[in-house]
Amino acid sequence: IERLSRLAVDGAVDAVIGLGGGKVLDTAKAVGHSQRRPVYLIPTLASTCSGWSSVSVYYDDDHRHLGHDIWETPARALLLDPRIVFDSPIALFVSGLADTLAKHVETRAAFARAEGPSVLGDIGALAAERCGEQVRDLGAAAVEDMRRGERSVAWTTLAEAAVITSGLVGSFGGVRGRA
Beta-bridge mates of residue 78: 41
Give the containing element (helix H, strand E) for 101.
Answer: helix 90-112
* Cα angle: 59, vertex 77, 141; to 5 degrees: 75
Backbone angles phi, psi at 178, to 5 degrees: -110, 60
Mean pLDDT by 10 residues, the chain (179 residues): 90 93 96 94 94 91 92 92 94 95 87 80 91 96 97 97 91 76
